Copies of this chain bind each other. A is one copy, B any other.
Amino acid sequence: MAESEAAVPVALDDPSYRAAVVDLLAVIAYGEITAFDRLTEDAKLAPTLEDKVALYQMASIEFGHLTRLRDRLAQLGAEPYAAMAPFVEALDGFHQHTAPSDWLEGLVKAYVGDGLAADFYREIAAALDADTRDLIIASLADAGHSDFVVERVKKAIADDHRVAGRLALWGRRLMGEALSQAQRVAAERDALSALLAGGVDRPGMDLAALGRMFTRLTEAHSQRMADLGLEA
Residues of A within 8 A of B (CB): 33, 36, 40, 48-50, 52-53, 56-57, 59-60, 63-64, 66-67, 70, 81, 84-85, 88
Q: Are B33 and A56 closer than 8 Å at their CB atoms?
A: yes
Contacts of A59 in B (CB 8 A): 40, 56, 59-60, 63
Q: A66 CA to B60 CA in the complex, in Å?
A: 12
Q: Are A81 and B33 closer than 8 Å at their CB atoms?
A: no
Q: Are A49 and B33 closer than 8 Å at their CB atoms?
A: yes
Q: A85 CA to B70 CA in the complex, in Å?
A: 38
Tell me which of B40, B48, B63, B85 contacts A57 (CB under 8 A): B63
Count the copies.
2
Q: A33 CA to B50 CA in the complex, in Å?
A: 11
Q: Are B53 and A66 closer than 8 Å at their CB atoms?
A: yes
Q: Are B60 and A33 closer than 8 Å at their CB atoms?
A: no
CB of A98, distance to nearest CB on chain B (Å): 19
CB of A226, distance to nearest CB on chain B (Å): 32
Q: A48 CA to B53 CA in the complex, in Å?
A: 27
Identify the closest chain B residue to A57 (Cβ): B63
Contacts of A67 in B (CB 8 A): 57
Q: Are A63 and B66 closer than 8 Å at their CB atoms?
A: no
Q: A70 CA to B40 CA in the complex, in Å?
A: 19
Greatest chain B CB density within 10 A among A36, A53, A70 is at A53
Q: Are B63 and A36 closer than 8 Å at their CB atoms?
A: no
CB of A194, distance to nearest CB on chain B (Å): 26
Contacts of A50 in B (CB 8 A): 81
Q: A88 CA to B53 CA in the complex, in Å?
A: 14
Tell me which of B48, B52, B64, B81 contacts A48 (CB under 8 A): B81
Contacts of A49 in B (CB 8 A): 33, 81, 84-85, 88
CB of A16, distance to nearest CB on chain B (Å): 26
Contacts of A33 in B (CB 8 A): 49, 52-53, 56
Q: A81 CA to B40 CA in the complex, in Å?
A: 19
Q: Are B56 and A36 closer than 8 Å at their CB atoms?
A: yes
CB of A165, distance to nearest CB on chain B (Å): 32
CB of A51, distance to nearest CB on chain B (Å): 10
Contacts of A52 in B (CB 8 A): 33
Identify the closest chain B residue to A70 (Cβ): B53
